[in-house]
Structure formats: structure tokens, C-alpha cells
Structure 1
Amino acid sequence: MKKLITTLCMLCGLLFTAGAQVITGTVNLPGANILEKGKTNATKSDAVGNYKIRVSDPNATLIFSYVGYKTKEVKISGQSTIHVELELSASSVQEVVVVGYGTQQRKDITGSISTISASKIKNQPAVSVDQLLQGRAAGVDVSQASGAPGGRLNIRIRGASSLNAGNEPLFVIDDVPVYNSSKDPSGTSYGTFTATNALASLNPNDIESIQVLKDASATAIYGSRGSNGVIIITTKRGSGNGIAVDYNGYYGVQTVANKLKLMNGAQHAAFLNDWAQTRNLPIPFARPDSIGKGTDWQDELFRPAMIQNHQVSLSSGKGNLKYFVSGNYYNQDGIVINSNMKRYSFRVNADAKINEKVKVSQSLSYSRTINRSVPTTGAGSGNVRSVGEKIYDTSPTIPVFDENGDYVDYWYNAGKAESPVASLLSVKNKLEGDNFLGNVALEYKPIENLTFRSLLGINLTNRSNQEYYPRATTYIGGLLGGLGMIGERKITNILNENTVRYTKIFKQKHNLELLGGFTWQKEQDFSATTEPSGFADDRLGLNSIGSATGATIIGSSLTEWSMASFIGRVNYQYDNKYLLTASFRADGSSKFGADNKWGYFPSVALGYRLSEEPFMKGLKFISDLKLRGSYGLTGNQEIGSYQSLATLTTSNAYIFDNKLVPAARHTRLENGELKWEKTGQWDVGLDAAFFNNRLRLTADYYKKDTRNLLFTIDLQAYSGYSSALYNTGGLQNKGFEISLGGDIFTGNFTWTADMNLGHNKSKITSLGRATSTTLFVGYPPGNFLGYVYEGVFHTQAEIDAQTVQTNVKPGDARYKDVTGDGFLNADDRIVMGNSLPEFTYGISNVFGYRNFSLTVFLQGSAKADRTEGTGLNDPSGTGNKSLNLLNRWTPSNPDSNIPRAGYSNVLTSTYQLMDASYLKIRNVQLSYTFRSGSSVYLSGQNLLTKTDYIGYDPDGGGGYPTATTLMFGVNLKL
């Protein structure tokens, strides 16, 4: 009986599979659709183009398709392996691009927009989305403010458009505008806290695409917040014909990317002896060589650090309900001891088609972040020092522990000493945050071509910060008997958008889209802090703030702002050849004066697709060719609330009748005329594609002028006010951008290359009624006055032969007499420095062979300066020094152009300027994809930096250096 059942089952299986066959192969595109003709079974190609499909008949026909490419039908004819190359449609490039309040096909875009797809940024260990932008888009400069887990980055799109207002771009995450300002509570009044990255709450693994809107045609629809560019982030949604379960995880190890080349113990001891002699002090070390290597404080404070990420997602695009659900756990130890970040996040995106007229969609995400941080910026006149400062300020001549096993916290000439190790290990700095970001949208189509859409969005942020600086191990704690801080901050941001869209094609040649709408947004921000000091015992710390005996500083604040806006846009194209986009936005903001609540921001753009002209059809190598130009006005409202109003402070007290009486006084002068900064920008561009789109080129030239700068002006003391915010002055940015990409090889071996270059030149065109000693008309912001360094006085004879500088000795710095009047004074200073790079670039190469893929991504920056504030190259102080100073001037080395140890004529000069140009290998990744679509990969981040800069990283992060990461990861299709 048992054998009979087995035989019947085998016969049934044979009948069921009769004629069925499994076909495998490759397509030259990831995500291509493969369908058996006349049947419902279908699949998609994976990340490297592999596919597998079961067909019902050996003589069936497969249909290969992809949006924007020619559909191809292939008859199986008994084959088991079929490789296909799809060609782009010669008539158009059909890529869909997300723009403000809608989408457009790439071929119809008249503005300057860069797209970064998920395939370009996947499997990179980034804690926040802004890290993924480095080098990916022309004209976008991303620099690292801190290398700490969750550290901030600075983003500049086509330069800085403001001096006192914000310069960060506006982020629009699933239709909800978010400005990347700090959402953290403040630290102590001594400047102990460095804000973290607000975007670190967004899980980068959920991102589907990033659009960078750069010119006014693209950004003017965002009006008062478009001057600094707009970055639109779209997260993943349900797709495919079935239910897909994916796991994405990686594990890696981080190490400090670059160790400073510093003096060892013996070398620094000899330096300190020289320093003491120039100050007529006894030498501190009788036998410097006996100290040997001494303590390498970089080895003591840095460590190999773990990083891991795990995500499970569930998605489906079948039927009337499409959804994407993901859960993520991210854990990154910092390369500096006692630093870490964890993130737990959850997302649900869903789209439900109720009927032919009604559609409901929602995007909801929740994240919790926990940061254990260390100081990354120095503050309080050296009372608090960053990690970097602890390393290069501390002498290698002292050990970590003394003979009793206690931490050594003092070394030669240290005025504010502490043990770098003990201070970092003992400081408590814990920042916790909860963030909820989401929206619900309803679409209604009452008639064909007409769509009403209403969206309700909300962004809730709740963050708490706890800091404690022990009196026994930190300088600031010892100064105040222990210093603590507890801070809370709650931010509620609500958005409502209502739009109507009408689309119509007339007589097959006229394509019209009309958009109109009203939006409203309001934010409430509450914070409270308590800062006690004078603790009886470090062990209790913040657990017993009631026992603190010092003067406790208590503060709280509540601010609100709101904005109402009307938007409109027209997109028109004729004969798929002539393109017009015009938009208008009116913003009313509570931040500005009573007479200037409303600002108006128009734009217009034209496009001409030459490739559609009959005379171009004979040029077969041209796939697409479009000229475009635009002009528009955008604004900037990123100032604090109530800046136009007269304000009071109650922090002062006065004496009446010999009694201390609480009182209030004016702190700001009312300015009812305060209004927007406005930036006018024009852009001319070219989009071209050649050889069936295998070679792609985009080029832009732009110029943007910002006027009515929001500028804080110092007032005369007799006015009773110290300063006021006014509109005055102007700033200009102009430059060009080039993006070039090509599919160099196709077939079994593939090679795709993409590169971009951006050049920007910035200058202040006017200061208006403002005065400044750090801003100069005709120069970029960030420059400063200084002397021209010309080396040193090598001998007494050189000193005697000149009259410009007096009271100098051999080995002292020599400065140029710029005016030629025979004296060195303030008139000899020049404007020097360039804090923003003139050129930024990125180069990406993706090589593929069968199931293997190799990605190499390079990124660089050129013609930017950084001042060497660390003193590594300055022999006037006693901290540890660069090995360059081994060649300093000494009586036995008189030809050196590096000043002598302890030289006293230190002036701000070109000696402090350092070239911060660099080229980085940002990412190298080798992956293998299985037929199932699952893959494994090895990846390296920030592997090598080519630069002449002697600090930790020319890209920034000197207070907390950046890391090199090596990791192994898997993507499993479950």
C-alpha cells in the first residue's frame, strides 16, 4: 500500500511538471521584468541582472521589459539559459524623477536635479543619509563636522547662501519638510555638548531614492526654504507580484583612519628643553633620550570598534494593498573609548486602492537612538577639551599611571591638566531620543485627469541629555566641585497639504499639467535644563542633584512658529520638444516683521529637446539632447523665532532699598521690517545621451545672488541694546557642474563609470550697514585677516639688515611688509584663507563579471584651506607637535624656515594656513549574487586619503577623527 501511494505521488508530480522548464540567465538591468507570454508567471532580475523563471512550455516566449527601454520577446526553443540586453528607447529617457509635490519623467525636467538611487548607496555603513551624499552629486559639498557615531555633517549645495541664517538644505522625507538643525537639548553653560545629527534617526536602509534639487526652477516651489537647495528622500514601498521577505545585515570593525605623526617622548622632551631655554627657564629633562618612545596617547584613546546592522523587511505589491514593513537594529561603537550609538527603528509604508477613484497611502516610522558621547569640540577657554585636543595637548613624556597605579594628570607647563584616559572614561554624556515621522494622504479622482490630494504629516521629537563631569578626573569638574546637567526637549511639528492636479494631452502634441494648493505647518519647541554643581561625591552624581551645593542654573523655553503657503505650478510641453515649467509660491511666516509676513517666490524654466528635431534624426549616435535654462527666486527663513520682536530677559536683578529685586530688561530692539533673505538664481544646462544612452552627460552653469541678508548688527551702547537683526548686504555664488556617465562594457563583463565635478566661487558683494572684522567685500565668507609669513630670521645679520621688525631673535618668524612703508603693522595684513572648496568631485566605477560585482568609489575636494588651530605646526606652545618640527630652527639647524621652539612673535599669518585638498577612496565593495537573488559582500569604507594636510582628516572631524571600516555583509531573499 505504501509503495502504491508513493508511485501515485510520483505520477502526479510528473503530470504536474509535464512541459514545465526552469529558465535562467541575465539581463543587463537590475529589476527588469520577465514574463511568460500569455501567462501570469513572472519575475524580476536581481541586483546584478540574474533571473530564474519556471515556464509551462519549452516552446514558450519570454517578454523582457523595463521602464524606458525597448521591450524584447525571446522564444525559448528548448534553451535553458537565455541572456538578454535591453536597449533604451531611442525617443526618450523615461526615468521617473521625484520633484516638489509630484513626479516627472527625466526627459521632461527643465531644472537642475541630481538623482541618487538606492543601488548606488546600498550596503554602505552610514548612520545617516547625509553621509551617503558625499561625492555622489555635482555641486554638493559634504564635510564631516565630527567623526563620532551620529556626528553632524555640513552640507552646502552650490555654496553658502547666508551669513547669519541657516545654510543647510531643506530635507523632504516622504513629503514632510524637515530642516536639519539640532534637535538636541543644550549642554552645560560651559559649552560641553556637541549636537548630534538629527538625520541619524532616519534608517538609510529604508531609502529608495534621493533627489537633490539645486536650481531655482526646482526649488522655488518650496519658496522661503529653497535658497540652500532641497533634498527629497523617498523611502521604499511595496513592489513585486508576491510577498518578499529580505534580510540585510553586516558586521565590521572600525579603526582610526589616520594617526597623527607626532613626536615621541624623547623628541618632545628635547623640544621642551629648547622651549624652556628660550623662556630663560631651567630645562625640565636632563636626559631626554632616556624617556624613549614614551606614551602614545593615540593608542590609549583610540580602539578597534565594532559596527553592526541588521534589518528585516517584508513587502508586497500585489493587489489593491501594497506595503513595505521593516525593522532595523544599528549598533556602532566609537573608535574613541567610551563612545557608542545604538538605533532601533521600525517603518510601515502602505498604499491602499479603495476603488478607481480613491487611494489612501501612509508612511510611518519610529526610531529610538541612544548616544554615549565624548566632547568633540573644545570650549570654555580650554576648560573642556575635545578628544583631538586631549591627544595633541598632552605630552608623551608622562605615563598613563604613576608608581601607585593612579592616573597621572599633570605634565610640564600644563595649566589645565587632566588625564586624557581618566577624563574620557569617567565623563557621563548620554543622549537618548525618540522620533516619530509620518504622514497619511488621501487621493481622490472625481473625473479623469483631475486629482485631489490631502496630506497630514507629523514629526515628533523627544530627546533627553544627561552629562556629569567628575571633580576627581576632569578639569571643569574639579574647578566646580563636579558639574552636571539634565536637559529635556520636545518638538512637535504638524503639516497639512492640500493640492489639486490636472493633466491633459491635447491633440497628441500638447501636454499640460496644472498644480495648485495650500499648505500649513506649525512647530512647537519646549526645552528645560537643570545645571547643578558642587557635588559631595562623584559616585552619586546626577542621581543626587538635590545634594549639590553650588549655584544651580535652571532654564526653560517655549518657542513656536507657523507658516501658511499657496503654491502653483504649470508644466507644459509641445510635441515632446518644447518644455515650459513655471511655479509660484507665497509664504507667510510668523518669524518675520509685521510688515513683511509674506514673501513671494516665482520661477520659470524653458527646455528645448533638439534630439526631437527632424534634422537630428539622422544622427544615430545621439540618443537625447536637451538645452534648458531657468531663473527664479527662493528664500531663507532659518532664524530663531521672535527675532523681529522686542524681547525681555529676567536673568538680571537690581537693588532697591538695599534689597535684591528680580527685574526684566530689554535685550533686542524690535524690527517690524524684518523680512526674508531672497536668492535670485539663473541656470543654463545641457542634458545629453549618446550611443543608445550608453554615454550620458549633464552640464550646468549657474549664478545666484542673495540679497537682504539676515545680519546681526552691533548697536551703540547708549541705545540700551547690544544688537539687532536687520536685512542688509549681499552674497554671490557662481560656478559650473559636470556629470558624466557611461556603460563602457556590456555583456558578461560589464563596466559602468560615473563621475561628477562641481566648481563654486563665493564672494560677499555688500555688507550694507553692517561692519565686520571677519567679513570682506569681494571675498568669500570664512576668510580672515593675517600677515604674510616669509620664513624665519636665520641669523643676527639678517635681523640687523632690516628695520621692519624689532625685538626679534634668530629663529623668530619673519612677516612681509606688504605696504612697503618700512614698518610691520595692521595695515600689512591681507585677506587670506578659503574655508569652502572651489572644486568637489566623485568618481564611481562598477565592474561586473557573471555573478561578481566590484565597486570602487573615489571622492575629493580641492582648493580649500584649514587653519591649524591644533598647534601641531606651531612651536610656540608646549603641547605635542608634528614631526615636521624636528626640523625647526636651532643654532645647529639655522637654515630651517620653521620657527624656533618657544618663539614669541606669534601673529595670525599664512603660516597657519594648510591646504585641505584631498582624494579619498571612499568605498570598495566586492559582492557575489546567487541565483536566488541573495548576495554576500566585503566592503571597505574610507580606506585611503591622499592629502598634504597634517591633521586627522582634511574633510573635518578633528575633534573626533573619522574611521576606516572593513565589514562583511549578506542580503538574503527569504
Structure 2
Amino acid sequence: MGIWSDDNNKKLNIQLKADYEILDDLIFDVAYSFQSNSELRNNYESKESFGGGLNRNGLATKESKDFYNQLLESTLRWNGNISNGTIDVVGGYSYQEFYEEGFRAQGGDFITDAFAYNRLKASNDFKTGIGDVTSFKNTNKLIAFFGRVNMSWDQTWFLSVSGRREGSSKFGTDKKWGFFPGASGGVELANFINSSSINNLKFRVSYGEAGNNLKDSYLSLVVAEPGDDSFYYNGDYVPAYGPLRNSNPNLGWESKKEINIGLDYSFFNDKVYGAIDYYSRKTESLLWLFGVPQPPNLASQTWANVGDLRNSGLEFLVNLKAVDNGSFSYIPTLTATWYIENKIVSLSDPDNGFVFGAGRNLGGMGSPGQNDTPLVHIEEGAPLGQLWGWKYVGISPTGELQLEDISGPEGKPDGGVDADDRTVIGNGLPSFEIGFGNSVRWNNWDANVFFRGVFGHDLINSMRAFYEVPAAIRSYNVVSTARDMKNPDTGAYLNSPDGKLSDLYVENADFFKLENLSIGYNLKVPSGSAINNVRFYFAANNLFVITGYKGTDPEVRYGDSEDDNNPLVPGVDRRDTWYMTRSFSLGVSLGFN
């Protein structure tokens, strides 16, 4: 009685590298790496074991997975001198191939536990048609040609130009290749300013493009799957197959274009140093599973490049050598990011038949009872991350949920609460982020302390949304805060299992935390010893968090964990979120001559 499990995992890593100097300062490099992983997993839950074994009268699973990734890169590099400066030129080629295949079989209803997972044929599930057998195979390739030129003059002027042409087998037949250029320039202003207090004042501007590949293969192709119907053919009923999605030969790269304007500074013999950056980023041709009319399309959805996003912000970094007298030093570091804009520019491509409409609601709270409850509203011209739902008013004397009537079919309150009354009830993205690091050294002791805070974001507390309503979740334990969900006059508890998400369950999730702490002591060792350094240390993570959020973790959710981390659905704290791990460690590190 129990669970038998056997896992085998075989890994192989190969790395080869060679270089050859063709001429002075002209070097050819070639590197090859190969990684493979072969997994075999067997599992059997006995007839009396709690869970699947008990429910299925014994349950056996066998699964295997094979994967490899090989990468070949070759570059040609040249370094030289130009008038009052230097030049560095690099050109190269890259080839990468991924391969993955797997198999899984699962069956239950055994007459004995003696076979365990070694005789799946003994499972009666395969005789009754409920045994499960699946397999898969994926392969894709990524090829790139790239080049870069770096130049500098008089340690004052700097210029860099780069380009990368990249092709992926995952995209449509007409759009497999993309070109992603980049350029940057800078000038050291300190060389024009006669001031002993200014050590570095470098102004720089850069522009770059990068491509985003598809996560899965074959998304540009028609994929058929078995349907619920069957048809009569040649004396038998044959299962019907239908398209899961439409083909799109124009499915191509999602691109990210960014402009950065920055200033690196250092003053007072490098006692104060840091950087200031402004960035403006536009993501174009979003990879999107778009709903389309059926007919004329075979299926109701198509992967397409539809939509643009724009975001911008300011980033600050300052380091201060507050004290440094030889035996004692203290260097605080402050970082800050102000998110100026996160905007949906467009979500339509009418030229190719992809029309978005006025707006769309995404996400879902989930089962039980709230599968059709949307979480986020996206709309052209609106901020990204808008949480969507009703305004909470209170609890009626009989325990019914009361929501605000704010609109209707004609745009004004109509005496009822329905979908027209939903509105923006929060935003899942932050507006400001700060980090504060402290580095201290005293003789042989050293310490590092890092604080971090994030502000301006909200979270949907789905744990509360489910477990504060006893009438909706009768088969589960409710959370202690459910005792507060009652009418103040009659004492009637909330008993409305209607699955309407309101701002009652949207919470401000600002937080400030001590993220990392480390303390070390460097032991002196005799000269001439084989050991040149001995350091004892203590380290801890997530020692405390200051927040008003009632959920498990106030960290920003930049994507929905139940929707493949979809970045268009931020701000959802799912019920399966684990608490932050608070860890403590003691150790010693050794350095050898």
C-alpha cells in the first residue's frame, strides 16, 4: 500500500571552442555546444492510497521525454586603430536547433497492486476506453547573421552600429526572417569642462530593435483535433476532426523598438557616481491569438501580429562613497524607476481582417462558479493593466451582494446591475519602484543590506474572492476574514454566489521589504599557505515586508499564471500562489592559490 515512483534522468553537455588568428588583430572564433536530456518517469498509486489510486482502483503512469539543443556560433573579429581612436568590428553566424519528443500513458482499475507500473496492459481502463495515451514531437530552428562596429575617438566620442538578421522556423512561410538594427552614440562632456570636481559626465543616446520569437512551434499552421461528433462511413461511425485554429503564412516577428537617452556621471573623485536614463519603448506586431468570425474562417481563432504597446519611464542610480578611510567604508546605493506610461496604442489590423472593436475583457477567475468572470479590460488608447469589475456598495439585510448601478444601455443608471455597470476598479502595473542598497566594510567584517519597494499597483485577491463566501464554496474551508462579510445591522453574512468581481477584492499592493542581508568575516591566513582566503558568512532573504495587502504575496504579477503569463492580464494573485520563501544560510568559502 502506498505510492511507488521511479525517475531516471540522463543529461549530456558538450562544449567545444576554437580560435585562429588569421592576421594580426584578425581572429576567427567558432564555438559549438550540445545539451541533451532524457527523462523516464514511472509512478504507481496503490488501490488503497489516498487520491488517484483510491479513486481509480490503482493508477499507473509511464512517461518519457527526450530533448536536445545544439548551438553553433562563428565570428570574425578585427581590432584596429584609426585617427586618434580605435575600431572594433565583429561579424558572425549562428545556428540553433531544438528538438523535443515525449510519450505518456496512464491507466487505472487493476485487479492487483503487484504489477505496479510494469504492466499497463493489465489496466482495465484501456478496455473501457478511459485509459489515456498521449505523445508529442516538436522541432524548430533559429538562424542569425549579425554584425557590430564600435568606434571611439580621443576617449571623448563614441559610436556603435549593429544589425542582426534572424530567421525562425516557427513563423509563417512569408515572414520567417526579421532584421533588427541598433545604434548608439556618446560624448564625454567632462573633457570640455574644466572642473576638478567632475570626473565623468558622459551623455549617450541609443536606439535598438529586438525580435520576440513564438514560444511554441506550428502556430502558423492549421492544426486539427478530434471533435465531439462522428459521421457514418463505410459501415462504421468515424470520429470527426476539425481545425483548432487557422493558418497564417504572414505570422512573423514581434518587435521591440527602444530609444534611450542617458547620462553617466561621477563627481568629487568618484565619491558620487551613477546614471540617469529615459527610455521610450514600443512593442509592435504583438503575437496574439485573435478571435475571427466563422465562417468565412474554418476555425474561430488565428495566431496573428496584431497590436502595438508603448511604455516609457525614468531610471535613476546614485552611489555614494560616504566613508572610506581604509579600515571602514560605507557605500549606500539608491535606484529608482518612475513608470511614466504603459499604453495600448492599437489592437487591430483591418488590412488583414483583424478588427478588435471597442474593447475586450480578458482573463477569468476560474472554477467553481466564476469561469465567466473577466478580470482585465483592454482598449485601444487606454492604459495597460486595467482591472475590470463592479463597484462594491455593501451587503443587504438578507446577505445579498450590493453593487453600484453606474450605467446602462443608454450610458446612465437604469435601476439594475448588469455588465453595463462594470468599470475600471484598479491597475495591476506599478507606477514607481525603489531600491536601497548598503555596503559596509570594517576591518575583516563586511555586510550588505538591500531594501526594495514597489508602489502604485493593485492585485485581485482571488483567495478572498472565493473563500469569503460560504454560500458559494460550501465544500471548502472559508478564510477568517469571511467573518467580517456581513450586514452591520442584521448580522447576515454574505451569501451571494453570483461570481461578480468587484473592487471589494481589489487591494492596493504597495510594499517595502528587506530583500537581502549578508554578513561576512574574512579570516587571515598565513602567507605561503595553499589557501589564500577563508570567509565565513551568514545570509538571509525576505526578512520582512511592510504592506497593507492581505494576500500571500504583494509582488507585481506582470502576467496571468493561468494564461501562460499573458502580459495583457497583469494584477491577478491566483489561489495557488505560494508564500514568499524566507531563507537563512550559514557557510564558508575558500580560495586557493
Q: Give the structure-2-normalised TM-score.
A: 0.81
Larger C-alpha radius of gyration, 1 or 2?
Answer: 1
8 Å CA contact 2:103–2:136 kept in 1: the answer is yes
Residue in structure 2 matched with residue 123 of structure 1 by the alignment: none
State the Cα distance separating 1:534 from its structure 2 match. 2.9
Query: How many correspondences in the alignment?
Result: 528
Residue in structure 2 matched with residue 867 of structure 1 by the alignment: 460
Change (3 A) 1:521 1:911: same
Change (3 A) 1:458 1:841: farther
- 2:486 pairs, out of 889, 905, 912, with 889
State the Cα distance separating 1:780 from its structure 2 match. 5.0
Residue in structure 2 matched with residue 578 of structure 1 by the alignment: 157
- 1:698 pairs, out of 268, 275, 280, with 275
Structure with the higher helix share, 1 or 2: 1
Please state if 1:946 is matched with 2:546: yes
Please state if 1:851 is matched with 2:431: no
- 1:776 pairs, out of 379, 387, 398, with 379
Please state if 1:568 is matched with 2:156: no
Residue in structure 1 matched with residue 72 of structure 2 by the alignment: 496
Structure with the higher strand share, 1 or 2: 2
Residue in structure 2 matched with residue 675 of structure 1 by the alignment: 252
Residue in structure 2 matched with residue 927 of structure 1 by the alignment: 520
Please state if 1:972 is matched with 2:587: no
Distance (Å, rounded) in 1 between the aligned partners of 2:418 and 2:452: 42
Distance (Å, rounded) in 2 between the aligned partners of 1:465 and 1:784: 41
Q: Which runs of 5+ in 1 are unaligned?
A: 1-424, 796-808
Distance (Å, rounded) in 2 between the aligned partners of 1:470 and 1:523: 37
Please state if 1:619 is matched with 2:195: yes
What is the alpha-carbon root mean square deviation over aligned residues? 2.9
Distance (Å, rounded) in 2 between the aligned partners of 1:822 and 1:433: 63
8 Å CA contact 1:937–1:970 kept in 2: the answer is yes
Secondary structure, in 3 states, of the residue corresponding to 1:672?
Answer: coil
Distance (Å, rounded) in 2 between the aligned partners of 1:773 and 1:471: 45
8 Å CA contact 1:713–1:770 kept in 2: the answer is no
Distance (Å, rounded) in 2 between the aligned partners of 1:665 and 1:887: 50
Residue in structure 2 matched with residue 506 of structure 1 by the alignment: 82
1:688-736, Cα deviation, whole Å (9 max, x unpaired): 1122222221121111111211211233344432322112111222212
Q: Mapping of 1:462-861 within 5 angstroms?
A: 462-466=38-42, 472=48, 474=50, 478-507=54-83, 509-536=84-111, 541-550=116-125, 551-613=130-192, 616=193, 618-649=194-225, 654-661=231-238, 665-718=242-295, 719-746=297-324, 747-760=326-339, 761-768=341-348, 769=354, 771=356, 772-774=360-362, 775-793=378-396, 809=398, 812-818=401-407, 819-861=412-454
Secondary structure, in 3 states, of the residue corresponding to 1:720?
Answer: coil
The structure, 1 or 2, with the larger RCO (C-alpha pairs under 8 Å, 6+ apart) is: 1
8 Å CA contact 1:888–1:901 kept in 2: the answer is yes
Distance (Å, rounded) in 2 between the aligned partners of 1:779 and 1:539: 62
Secondary structure, in 3 states, of the residue corresponding to 2:88?
Answer: strand
Distance (Å, rounded) in 2 between the aligned partners of 1:662 and 1:821: 49
Amino acid paired to 2:75: T
Change (3 A) 1:720 1:485: farther
Change (3 A) 1:812 1:526: closer
Q: Which runs of 5+ in 2 are unaligned?
A: 349-353, 363-377, 526-532, 556-572
Q: Give the structure-1-normalised TM-score.
A: 0.51
8 Å CA contact 2:246–2:298 kept in 1: the answer is no
Distance (Å, rounded) in 2 between the aligned partners of 1:953 and 1:465: 33
Distance (Å, rounded) in 2 between the aligned partners of 1:609 and 1:584: 25
8 Å CA contact 2:101–2:137 kept in 1: the answer is yes
Greater Cα shift, 679-688 or 476-485: 476-485
1:70-103, Cα deviation, whole Å (9 max, x unpaired): xxxxxxxxxxxxxxxxxxxxxxxxxxxxxxxxxx
State the Cα distance separating 1:581 from its structure 2 match. 0.9
Change (3 A) 1:701 1:915: same
1:900-924, Cα deviation, whole Å (9 max, x unpaired): 2424555111111122222221222
State the Cα distance separating 1:477 from its structure 2 match. 5.1
Change (3 A) 1:863 1:435: farther
8 Å CA contact 1:791–1:815 kept in 2: the answer is no
8 Å CA contact 1:669–1:724 kept in 2: the answer is yes
Secondary structure, in 3 states, of the residue corresponding to 1:531?
Answer: strand
Change (3 A) 1:951 1:628: same
Secondary structure, in 3 states, of the residue corresponding to 1:870?
Answer: helix
Amino acid paired to 1:894: D
8 Å CA contact 1:748–1:849 kept in 2: the answer is yes
Secondary structure, in 3 states, of the residue corresponding to 1:542?
Answer: coil
Greater Cα shift, 752-761 or 601-610: 752-761
Distance (Å, rounded) in 2 between the aligned partners of 1:778 and 1:745: 49
Amino acid paired to 2:404: Y
Amino acid paired to 2:342: S
8 Å CA contact 2:205–2:260 kept in 1: the answer is yes
Secondary structure, in 3 states, of the residue corresponding to 2:493?
Answer: coil
Q: Mapping of 1:259-298 within 5 angstroms?
A: none
1:613-638, Cα deviation, whole Å (9 max, x unpaired): 2xx1x322221111111112211112
Change (3 A) 1:946 1:485: farther
